[in-house]
Structures are given as structure tokens and as C-alpha cells.
Amino acid sequence: MNALLYSDPSHNALRSSVFEHFQGVVSFEQVALKYVHRGQETYRVNHKKHVVEAGQLILGNHSRQSEVHIHTLTEGLCIDIAPDFVHQIAECAGHTTEVAEFLTSNQFPLLTLSKQNSAAAREMAVLAEEGIQHNAPPDGHVPHFLVTLTEAMLDDAALVFTQIKGLPFRRSETRSEVFVQLKKVKDFIDRHYLEPLQLDDLTPIACISKFALVRQFRLSFGLAPYKYIQQKRLEFALQMLQRGNSVQDTAFMTRFADSAAFSKAFRRHFGLSPTQHLK
């Protein structure tokens, strides 16, 4: 079941959906964000699967068509934003024309984003929890949620644009395809960084060699996979220490060989030892 919550003459629209079982082909109208509030949706585009869990969204534009599969009770929101409106907000929010053109072109890859790494996903989560104000805005005005979501989406797109530009491929299609695989690796690390990860665990996700993965991951995200894993562990370690855990327990939980190795890495990353940081 779909319900239209908002629409305007510029073809911006917001819909809610509740399905227990669904299978069919859907098109991404305008620039589209499809957010899963509860449940799970699976998208298949060009023989590639994108699983969208609760708290995640999939972002694409009018150049995309996808098979969608739902096999459990799933609630979500979908917002369609007109390209002209994207360009208008980009100019007001200080984003370059290049970013707006990238987001609305067929060069923009289909991306799965989560609340942990996406401003748009966080805004969609708030909208799903709190709903929208049903009072109609004055003539000539658009609702605040539409402006806020578009700004957040442009923030996400600007970061992706920078990350994709770092890849050493001449064809924009190749850069986008490789970036999607690299982002899947990054997302996997974000979910499993406290587990014993090796490059052998990551290369099947990226579908490239170890050497290419290390090089291309660094070019896109600024760190090699191992360094990114360590950064995630250290950031989590800081939270553990702030909650009152001991240095020894924190070192063990974040998979360092011992307290000395943990303290050395912590000092290198934060500039202070674990005990100094908490004084």
C-alpha cells in the first residue's frame, strides 16, 4: 500500500509505503530516496543486488530502473525531488553546479546509505518517526522538510563526487561501478570492524585483487582498508574508555594484541595516551 503525503506542481512528492509481500519493477522518478523504516527491501539493478535494511536508504535518479523484492512486513518512505529543485537548493546552499549536475545525471551510481554515514538517511529517519506538518505552506513556498532533505542529499552527493573523482579511470561509468564496490567494502567494515577482518574477507566483496583494493580504497576514502579498520576500532575504544572501561578491557575488545600496542596506536591517533585522554 502506498499513500501520497505531499506533492506539488514541480513534481516533488513524498509517499509512505507498507508492504508484506511485493515483487515488481519500479522506476526511480526524478531524484529519488527510498528509505526503509522497518523491514527490508532488495533491489536488483543490472544483475547487482542492493539490500536496504531498516535505517538505510537507496539513492538514485531517473536513469535507474530496478526489480524490488519484499518478503517481510516493511514500512518506508519515498521522496521524489525534481532536478530543477535540486539545482535551486544547491545554489542556495553553496554547493557547486558540478555536484548538482552529478547527482541528477546518469553518472551518479545507485547507492545504499545508512544513518551512520548519510545526512539524508538521518533526515529521513526523523521524518519517518515524527511525520510531516500537514499545514500547507504559503503560496510559492515549499515545506521545510523538502528543503532540509535536499540539502542533506546534496551533502551526501558532494562527498561521493569527491570520492569518485579520486579513482584513476578515464570512463566515468567505470569510476562509478568501482566506487559502488569499494563502498560495499567500507560498509562491511563499518558493520564488522570488531571482528578479525583480513583482506581475504574484503576482496570477494570488491571483486578486485588485494593490490587494487588497497590502492583504490585509499584513493577514494583516504586510508587503506587496514588503517580504516584500525581507525574505527580506536574511535570505538574512545567511547569505551569514556564509559568507564579499563584500558586492558578496551584493548581486548578492540582486538589489539595487548595494552601496550593499544596505547601506542591510541596515542598516535589522538595525540594522548588513553589515561591522559581521560584526565
Mean pLDDT, residues 159-175 taken together = 91
> 47's torsion region: left (phi>0), alpha (psi -120 to 50) or beta?
left
Q: Which pLDDT value is given to residue 133?
A: 55
User: CA 73 to CA 66: how far, in whole Å?
Assistant: 20
Q: Which pLDDT value is given to residue 65?
A: 79
Q: Which pLDDT value is given to residue 179?
A: 94
Domains of the chain, CATH where assigned: 2-165 (2.60.120.810), 186-277 (1.10.10.60)
Residue 279 pLDDT grade (very low, low, confident, very high; cuts 50, 70, 90): low
Residue 66 pLDDT grade (very low, low, confident, very high; cuts 50, 70, 90): confident
Mean pLDDT, residues 238-245 taken together = 93
C-alpha 207 chain-centroid distance: 20
DSSP-derived 3-state class of residue 2: strand
The percentage of the chain sitting over the pLDDT mark of 70, rounded to a whole number, equals: 96
The per-residue pLDDT for range 137-166, each reduced to its tens digit, is 555 567 889 999 999 999 999 999 999 988
The per-residue pLDDT for range 86-137, each reduced to its tens digit, is 999 999 988 989 999 999 998 899 999 998 889 999 999 999 988 765 545 5
- Beta carbons of 30 and 82 less than 8 angstroms apart: yes
Q: Which pLDDT value is given to residue 84?
A: 94
Q: Do the strands 65-70 and 22-27 form a parallel or antiparallel pair, or are they unpaired?
A: antiparallel
